[in-house]
């Protein structure tokens, strides 16, 4: 294929030729026959004459004759393009030798200048223009090197420039070049324009353009427009940037789009430029999630963009707080006089005494209004210093001529001084916020600070309820309503202003009303202006960080996610809102909690989660939009990050032939310490890269930069430099198809390595046949696809520890910590409040509600789950101090008694019967175990606030006038024995309709007999539909408590919330959503849901998220003789108020007994459906009652009184004692339900005299 070419007499050694070929192509050819497909020669030709071959058309895995002929046809076309005339070369060895000589003659012999390596852009041409002849000197020694590192490096850089030479023509404007030269942190004076030229080609090249298009065609992005950016020669322009979250790397990326010079500096002209630039890059406007610009008319700019895409989150207002500052001051009564005073003071600055000049800032006083509108922090510092130097200023101006007496009058006016003191207080939060912006604080933090800023100002002049109502609704018109304003004297003015008011009260009496209206005007104006500039409502601002925080995902509500979805345009309709909520709940339920590793960043966490969610996930799109929020709005930091990203691109180009082997491994320099068990690719002499596992040294630690690697397949051990290893995730780059096809050991190694990788990634393959080849094919497809869905994380070595810890060692460790805590408390006199009383650790979160001391976060949850868990004897299953314990007496374990009270305490107390515990007899406690005097109140507070989840307040219904109230309509799910109806009639409610869903026949019979058939019984709750609700309703009250069998931690075989009877909660939730009224419906609607306290924290959190509120804990022991702690969720007013017994409530067991019977206890434990739950003490050994000198159990009629039911309430249908106890054990306590439903009397009609 070459004319007049003669192969040199010197014959190259075959192994040397193959080494040279593998080096140039980064290949692993071990035999000459592997090059017969022609693919290798096509790649060589593309290197020698770039652009002569379309690499995309080369068939690298060619095996059929037709594919091989296609490759050689491409090669022949390349020769024609290079004007190399045809000649016949029959042997492959001769062809390879010819290519080697051709390469040396045209590429390798060119001199390399390091200073010019990055700037030469010409295409490497063949040395002869038309035809050439290779003549090699016979004097050249055969042992000479076939290639040199310098020549290779030069070639690689030349190829980089060759490849990109045709790309540089893409829109390189002079303004863009100026911007890169000025703001490129990597450009040094020594490099001059050489490096910048290379960077320019990358920033503006075709590859960069294609990358941006590929990323942003499916990814939400943030668009930045920085106006008035200084370029070279004092010119200014607008810089257009694009930011997005890269799901592949888990990093935020920034890209420069262009530097704009519109014909007119108007919002319309710039908007047109933006749209045209996005079209040029083929970036869809629909994916623009966030927009920021410092353009003066950013509102006009944003309105133009929103015509094309309405749901754009604008951050422009965040940096516009100076205007807020200005508007607030301008609305004050004395703002003009204050500005005049400051101006006059600084006109005399040069004549001030030296001490006064040093104290006051030297500023340009020509126009203080400009300072007010653009430099709020400077203005605040000026007035703050003037207030401190006020007396000195009065003395100075008082000593001047009469011409300056006007300044003295202003300084001596108490009204002006009062207003200046007020401004010092009121402007500080705004200035702090502005300083955070100037420092480059993250936008997420700025949004949280903005929420605090709004709350600061609203609480200064609004009544608490009005402030809360305004923050919830966000309507600025509510601020203007004077009804919600604080009265004069209660509006916050700051300590200095308040003290001044007291000192000069007589002089200021006449102006107090003016001053009050002035500061109200300031606060209202500032608050309204801040609200109008914020992109989200207050509730979203406060909860925004929770959505992105993996450790707090259980605290996020569906409402917050829905609101964010609407703001970012993820939800275009009601069906999308529902789908978004479902995806969010699915994400919450995965792993049941925090799955973030301790050393894992938030971005890396979401990188993994987003891969699992997939591209079409609405919730995933929302998360990417949130991750695209700028880390800062400060342009200098943004510009630096843009250039850093471009620097990374220069070194991270992953073309197969743009760097040598060392450069390739340099890309993975962060993996310097390959850990034991990590899967890697390592070199085997004569075979190229081979899959292997990093092994441990004898010392169990890596020996410097060397790694011991065992290779799959041949099990060969080798010591390899870490720089020569590649991570196994680089499978597509390191895999050698030729070795796979010809070397059986290599094929086995690939199979074995993929088996290990699939086990680590928990991937299970189901090939169509049982053959090994078919399984290998499926695994190869998975490997070439990037090991989805877990990717590189799934290939990491599993921990040597299986997570099961030795409980005895752990207990011994905790005991040692316990002893140290007691020693610190008793001997070193440290405060017990510094320690967690349950485990002895020092990082604490909340007080221990029973004893002096604290609880850490882990023990807090343990305490929540174990406090109300009782054994068969009716006493605590776990220790109330440490929440554990192998052996417990009453409520205390061996370790806590022996360590906290004294050695041998447990053995002494075992022989005391009965023993009165420390809570009931606090005087008997000693040493480190001190009961709290108010422990009963603390327990209520603990359970009322044990969830950090924050929800929107329930809708508040105003009370209805008595003459407008109508009878109540009720739907009761899981109705039981109609406790709800009984309580409503006892309270005197007129019940128009009471529909009950119950499946237990005995309970239905009891309800029918006791209430004369006034209850409408319907089918199973699972069969109730919206059509039924429409036919029976509308309802005013929904009550119910789903079965607790599968939720209570007392049941070891519990199935949880999503299996068994636990799923019935979702039936309640479903019907609640069906029945809830619309926003414009003013008719009150209330609901109540009940379940056990001793459920798992996770189950409780799930219920809270669905019902979107926290429960209140009510224990029937406060109003009856029996313990019965229950959680209640609902929107009934006053649910969390303290429960107080009425005169009719029976608080002691004796009050419920028949004549002639004596109670041995005042209170009994929780009565359940289990017969022995009526007995007390250990092993159900004690009867609670004596009669005629004999022990006896509680009778059913007495049990009815304990629950608050009328005597013989369950005496129907010839039911036996066990049947009656069973229905009572599942029922509600009547006094508790009466306590909860009583507030409804303000909304619904009642009888004048309650029925009894």
- Active-site annotation, residues: 1044
How far, in Å, CA of 1081 to CA of 1000, rounded?
36
Higher pLDDT, 138 or 1120: 1120
pLDDT, position 982: 92
Higher pLDDT, 214 or 734: 734
Provide the pairing of β-strand 717-721 with 726-727. unpaired
Contact (CB, 8 A) for 375 and 430: no
Looking at 184-297, list the stretches that DSSP marks H as alpha helix, in order from N- to C-terminal side: 192-204, 206-216, 267-280
Closest CA relative to residue 1048, chosen from 1010, 1100, 1110, 1105:
1100
Architecture of domain 14-165: Orthogonal Bundle (1.10)
SS (H, E, C) 354-417: HHHHHHCCCCCCCCHHHHHHHCHHHHHHHHHHHHHCHHHHHHHHHCCCHHHHHHHHHHHCHHHH
How far, in Å, CA of 141 to CA of 139, rounded?
6
Residue with tokens 């999503």: 1058
With H, G, I as helix, E, B as strand and everything else as coil, classify residue 326.
helix
pLDDT, position 813: 61
Mean predicted confidence (pLDDT) in 761-772? 67
Domain 668-795 matches domain 968-1133+1144-1242 at the CATH topology level: no
Whether pLDDT at 2 is above 60: no
Provide the pairing of β-strand 968-973 with 1037-1040. parallel
Angle between helix 206-216 and 192-204 (nearest 10): 40
Torsion sign over Cα 356, 357, 362, 364 = positive
Closest CA relative to residue 458, chosen from 513, 543, 528, 541:
528
Mean predicted confidence (pLDDT) in 174-191? 62
Element (H, E) at 93: helix 92-103
Element (H, E) at 694: strand 688-695
How far, in Å, CA of 118 to CA of 1105, rounded?
58
How far, in Å, CA of 669 to CA of 681, rounded?
15
How far, in Å, CA of 332 to CA of 24, rounded?
77
Mean predicted confidence (pLDDT) in 902-911? 81
Contact (CB, 8 A) for 716 and 703: no
| 1034: preceding bond cis by omega (within 30 degrees) | yes
**Tens digit of pLDDT for each residue in 29-73?**
767 777 888 888 888 888 887 778 887 788 776 777 777 888 888
CATH of domain 174-315+633-652: 3.30.420
How far, in Å, CA of 828 to CA of 830, rounded?
6
pLDDT, position 868: 57
Of 192-196, 454-458, 609-613, 820-824, the poorest mean pLDDT is in 192-196
How far, in Å, CA of 306 to CA of 1214, rounded?
74
pLDDT, position 769: 58
How far, in Å, CA of 528 to CA of 324, rounded?
9
Q: How confident is the model at residue 644 (pLDDT cuts 50, 70, 90)?
A: low
User: Across-strand partners of 719?
Assistant: 708
Mean predicted confidence (pLDDT) in 1014-1033? 89
How far, in Å, CA of 110 to CA of 155, rounded?
9
Phi-psi region at 1013: left, alpha or beta (left = phi > 0; alpha = psi -120 to 50): left
Contact (CB, 8 A) for 316 and 302: yes
How far, in Å, CA of 450 to CA of 320, rounded?
12
Higher pLDDT, 782 or 14: 782
How far, in Å, CA of 546 to CA of 602, rounded?
12
What backbone phi and psi angles, to 5 degrees, belong to 1177? 80, 180
Q: How confident is the model at residue 165 (pLDDT cuts 50, 70, 90)?
A: very low
Element (H, E) at 313: strand 313-314
pLDDT, position 138: 33
**Tens digit of pLDDT for each residue in 344-357?**
888 888 888 888 87
Contact (CB, 8 A) for 690 and 749: yes
Of 5-19, 267-281, 408-422, 1072-1086, the poorest mean pLDDT is in 5-19
Distances (CA, A) of 961 to 560, 981, 1240, 1243: 35, 24, 13, 8
Higher pLDDT, 10 or 1160: 1160
Contact (CB, 8 A) for 536 and 317: no
Of 9-18, 386-395, 503-512, 591-600, the poorest mean pLDDT is in 591-600
Contact (CB, 8 A) for 97 and 7: yes
Contact (CB, 8 A) for 1086 and 539: no
CB count in 10 Å sphere of residue 361:
12
Q: How confident is the model at residue 647 (pLDDT cuts 50, 70, 90)?
A: very low
What backbone phi and psi angles, to 5 degrees, belong to 495? -65, -45
pLDDT, position 1016: 92
Fold category of 668-795 in CATH: SH3 type barrels. (2.30.30)
Whether pLDDT at 970 is above 90: yes
Non-local (6+) Cβ contacts of 1213 within 8 A are 1002, 1005, 1006, 1009
Element (H, E) at 1098: helix 1097-1107
Contact (CB, 8 A) for 1086 and 1132: yes
Looking at 963-1038, list the stretches that DSSP marks H as alpha helix, in order from N- to C-terminal side: 979-986, 1001-1010, 1026-1032
Going across the sheet that includes 288-293, the strands are 251-260, 236-246, 221-230, 288-293, 313-314
The pair of structure tokens assigned to 1019 is 């089918």
How far, in Å, CA of 1094 to CA of 1117, rounded?
16
Closest CA relative to residue 5, chosen from 92, 138, 97, 140:
97
Mean predicted confidence (pLDDT) in 603-609? 81
How far, in Å, CA of 723 to CA of 823, rounded?
52
Residue with tokens 């209850």: 1015
Residue with tokens 């005013």: 1036
Mean predicted confidence (pLDDT) in 372-383? 72
**Tens digit of pLDDT for each residue in 98-124?**
888 777 776 654 433 333 332 333 233
How far, in Å, CA of 1072 to CA of 1074, rounded?
5
Mean predicted confidence (pLDDT) in 204-217? 67
Non-local (6+) Cβ contacts of 634 within 8 A are 437, 438, 439, 440
Angle between helix 414-426 and 512-533 (nearest 10): 30
Q: How confident is the model at residue 366 (pLDDT cuts 50, 70, 90)?
A: low
Non-local (6+) Cβ contacts of 1224 within 8 A are 977, 1167, 1196, 1199, 1200, 1203, 1205, 1210
Q: What is the DSSP string of 249-272?
A: TTEEEEEEEEEE--SS-SHHHHHH
Whether pLDDT at 596 is above 60: no
Mean predicted confidence (pLDDT) in 843-847? 82
Higher pLDDT, 437 or 1090: 1090
CATH of domain 968-1133+1144-1242: 3.40.50.150
Contact (CB, 8 A) for 32 and 96: yes
pLDDT, position 663: 34
The pair of structure tokens assigned to 957 is 């219904």
Whether pLDDT at 560 is above 90: no
Whether pLDDT at 324 is above 80: no
Q: How confident is the model at residue 474 (pLDDT cuts 50, 70, 90)?
A: confident
How far, in Å, CA of 724 to CA of 705, rounded?
10
Whether pLDDT at 1208 is above 80: yes
**Tens digit of pLDDT for each residue in 293-312?**
988 888 888 888 888 888 88
pLDDT, position 599: 58
Mean predicted confidence (pLDDT) in 971-993? 91
- Cα distance from N-terminal residue to C-terminal residue, the chain: 113
Mean predicted confidence (pLDDT) in 536-543? 82
| Angle ∠(245,547,1076) on CA atoms, nearest 5 | 130
Whether pLDDT at 963 is above 60: yes
Torsion sign over Cα 1143, 1146, 1152, 1157 = negative
Domain residue ranges of the chain, discontinuous segments joined by +: 14-165, 174-315+633-652, 321-533, 538-627, 668-795, 815-944, 968-1133+1144-1242
Mean predicted confidence (pLDDT) in 481-506? 85
Provide the pairing of β-strand 968-973 with 892-893. unpaired
Taking the whole predicted model, whether its pTM rises above 0.95 is answered as no
**pLDDT, averaged across the chain:** 76
Closest CA relative to residue 780, chosen from 707, 709, 731:
731
pLDDT, position 885: 63
């Amino acid at each position: 294929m070459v004319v007049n070419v003669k192969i040199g007499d010197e014959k190259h050694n075959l192994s040397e030729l193959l080494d040279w070929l593998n080096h140039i192509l980064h290949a692993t050819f071990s035999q000459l026959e592997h090059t017969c497909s022609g693919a290798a020669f096509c790649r060589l030709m593309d290197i020698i004459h770039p652009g002569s071959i379309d690499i995309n058309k080369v068939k690298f895995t060619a095996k059929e004759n037709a594919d091989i002929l296609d490759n050689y046809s491409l090669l022949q076309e390349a020769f024609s393009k290079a004007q190399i005339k045809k000649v016949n070369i029959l042997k492959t060895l001769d062809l390879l030798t010819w290519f080697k000589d051709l390469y040396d003659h045209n590429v390798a012999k060119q001199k390399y200048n390091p200073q010019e390596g990055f700037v030469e852009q010409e295409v490497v041409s063949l040395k002869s223009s038309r035809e050439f002849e290779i003549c090699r000197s016979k004097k050249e020694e055969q042992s000479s090197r076939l290639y040199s590192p310098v020549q290779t490096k030069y070639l690689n850089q030349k190829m980089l420039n060759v490849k990109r030479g045709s790309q540089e023509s893409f829109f390189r404007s002079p303004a863009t070049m100026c911007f890169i030269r000025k703001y490129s942190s990597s450009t040094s004076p020594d490099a001059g324009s050489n490096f910048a030229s290379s960077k320019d080609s990358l920033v503006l090249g075709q590859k960069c353009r294609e990358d941006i298009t590929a990323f942003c065609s499916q990814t939400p992005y943030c668009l930045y427009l920085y106006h008035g950016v200084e370029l070279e020669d004092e010119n200014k322009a607008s810089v257009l940037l694009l930011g997005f979250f890269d799901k592949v790397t888990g990093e935020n990326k920034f890209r420069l789009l262009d530097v704009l010079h519109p014909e007119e500096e108007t919002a319309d002209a710039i908007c047109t430029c933006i749209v045209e630039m996005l079209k040029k890059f083929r970036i869809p406007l629909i994916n623009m999630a966030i927009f920021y610009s410092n353009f003066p008319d950013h509102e006009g700019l944003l309105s133009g963009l929103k015509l094309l895409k309405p749901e754009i989150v604008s951050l422009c207002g965040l940096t516009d707080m100076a205007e807020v500052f200005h508007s607030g001051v301008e609305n004050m009564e004395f703002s003009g006089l204050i500005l005049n005073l400051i101006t006059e003071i600084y006109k005399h600055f040069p004549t001030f005494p030296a001490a006064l000049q040093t104290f006051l800032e030297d500023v340009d006083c020509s126009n203080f209004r400009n300072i007010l509108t653009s430099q709020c922090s400077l203005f605040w510092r000026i007035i703050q210093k003037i207030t401190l130097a006020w007396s000195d200023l009065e003395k100075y101006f008082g000593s001047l001529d009469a011409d300056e007496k006007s300044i003295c009058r202003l300084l001596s006016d108490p009204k002006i001084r009062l207003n200046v003191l007020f401004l010092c207080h009121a402007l500080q939060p705004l200035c702090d916020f502005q300083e955070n912006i100037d420092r480059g604080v993250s936008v997420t933090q700025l949004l949280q600070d903005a929420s605090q800023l709004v709350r600061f100002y609203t609480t200064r002049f609004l009544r608490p309820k009005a402030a809360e109502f305004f923050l919830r609704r966000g309507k600025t018109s509510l601020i203007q309503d004077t009804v919600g304003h604080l009265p004069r004297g209660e509006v916050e003015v700051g300590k200095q202003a308040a003290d001044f008011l007291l000192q000069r009260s007589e002089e200021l009496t006449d102006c107090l009303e003016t001053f009050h209206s002035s500061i109200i005007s300031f606060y209202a104006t500032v608050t309204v202006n801040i609200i109008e500039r914020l992109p989200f409502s207050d509730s979203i601002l406060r909860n925004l960080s929770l959505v992105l925080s993996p450790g707090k995902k259980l605290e996020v509500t569906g409402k917050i996610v829905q609101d964010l979805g609407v703001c970012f345009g993820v939800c275009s309709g009601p069906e999308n809102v529902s789908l978004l909520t479902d995806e969010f709940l699915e994400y919450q339920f995965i792993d049941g909690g925090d799955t973030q590793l301790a050393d894992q960043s938030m971005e890396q966490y979401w990188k993994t989660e987003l891969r699992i969610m997939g591209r079409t996930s609405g919730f995933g799109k929302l998360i990417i939009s949130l991750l695209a929020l700028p880390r800062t709005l400060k342009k200098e930091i943004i510009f630096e990050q843009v250039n850093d990203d471009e620097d990374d691109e220069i070194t991270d180009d992953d073309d197969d032939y743009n760097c040598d082997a060392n450069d390739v491994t340099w890309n993975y320099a962060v993996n310097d310490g390959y850990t034991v068990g990590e899967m890697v690719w390592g070199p085997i002499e004569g075979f190229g890269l081979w899959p292997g596992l990093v092994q441990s040294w004898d010392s169990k630690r890596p020996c410097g930069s060397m790694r011991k690697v065992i290779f799959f397949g041949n099990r060969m051990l080798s010591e390899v430099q870490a720089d020569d290893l590649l991570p196994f995730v680089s499978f597509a780059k390191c895999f050698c198809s030729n070795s796979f096809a010809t070397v059986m050991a290599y094929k086995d190694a690939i199979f074995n390595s993929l088996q290990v990788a699939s086990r680590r990634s928990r991937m299970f393959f189901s090939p169509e046949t049982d053959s090994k080849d078919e399984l290998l094919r499926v695994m190869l497809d998975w490997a070439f696809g990037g090991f989805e869905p877990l990717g590189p994380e799934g290939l990491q070595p599993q921990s040597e520890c299986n997570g099961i810890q030795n409980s005895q060692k752990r207990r011994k460790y905790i005991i040692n910590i316990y002893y140290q805590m007691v020693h610190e408390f008793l001997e070193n006199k440290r405060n017990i409040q510094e320690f967690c009383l349950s485990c002895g650790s020092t990082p604490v979160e909340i007080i221990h509600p029973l004893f002096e001391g604290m609880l850490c976060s882990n023990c807090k949850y343990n305490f929540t789950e174990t406090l109300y868990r009782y054994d068969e004897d009716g006493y605590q299953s776990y220790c109330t101090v440490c929440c554990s314990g192998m052996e417990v007496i009453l409520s205390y374990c061996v370790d806590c008694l022996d360590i906290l009270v004294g050695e041998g305490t447990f053995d002494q107390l075992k022989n005391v019967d009965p023993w009165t515990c420390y809570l009931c007899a606090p005087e008997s406690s000693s040493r480190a175990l001190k009961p709290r005097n108010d422990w009963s109140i603390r327990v209520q507070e603990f359970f009322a606030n044990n969830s950090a989840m924050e929800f929107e307040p329930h809708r508040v219904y105003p009370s209805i006038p008595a003459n407008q109230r109508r009878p109540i309509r009720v739907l009761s799910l899981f109705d039981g024995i109609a406790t709800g109806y009984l309580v409503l009639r006892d309270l005197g409610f007129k019940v128009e309709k009471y529909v009950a869903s119950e499946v237990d026949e005995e309970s239905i019979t009891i309800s029918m007999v006791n209430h004369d058939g006034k209850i409408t019984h319907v089918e199973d709750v699972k069969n109730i539909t919206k059509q039924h609700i429409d036919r029976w309703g509308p309802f005013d009250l929904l009550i119910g408590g789903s079965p607790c069998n599968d939720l209570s931690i007392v049941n070891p075989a519990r199935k949880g919330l999503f299996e068994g009877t636990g799923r019935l909660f979702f039936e309640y939730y479903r019907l609640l959503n069906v029945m809830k009224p619309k926003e414009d419906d003013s008719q009150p609607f209330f609901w109540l849901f009940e379940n056990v306290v001793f459920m798992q924290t996770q189950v409780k959190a799930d219920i809270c998220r669905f019902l979107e509120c926290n429960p209140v804990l009510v224990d029937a022991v406060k109003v009856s003789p029996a313990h019965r702690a229950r959680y209640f969720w609902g929107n009934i007013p006053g649910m969390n108020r303290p429960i107080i017994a009425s005169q009719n409530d029976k608080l002691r067991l004796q009050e419920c007994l028949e004549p002639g019977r004596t109670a041995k206890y005042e209170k009994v434990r929780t009565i359940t459906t289990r017969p022995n739950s009526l007995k007390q003490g250990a092993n159900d050994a004690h009867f609670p009652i004596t009669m005629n000198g004999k022990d006896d159990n509680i009778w059913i009629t007495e049990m009815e009184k304990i629950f608050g039911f009328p005597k013989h309430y369950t005496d129907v249908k010839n039911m036996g004692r066990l049947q009656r106890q069973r229905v009572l054990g599942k029922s509600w306590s009547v006094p508790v339900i009466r306590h909860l439903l009583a507030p409804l009397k303000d909304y619904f009609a009642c009888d004048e005299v309650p029925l009894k």
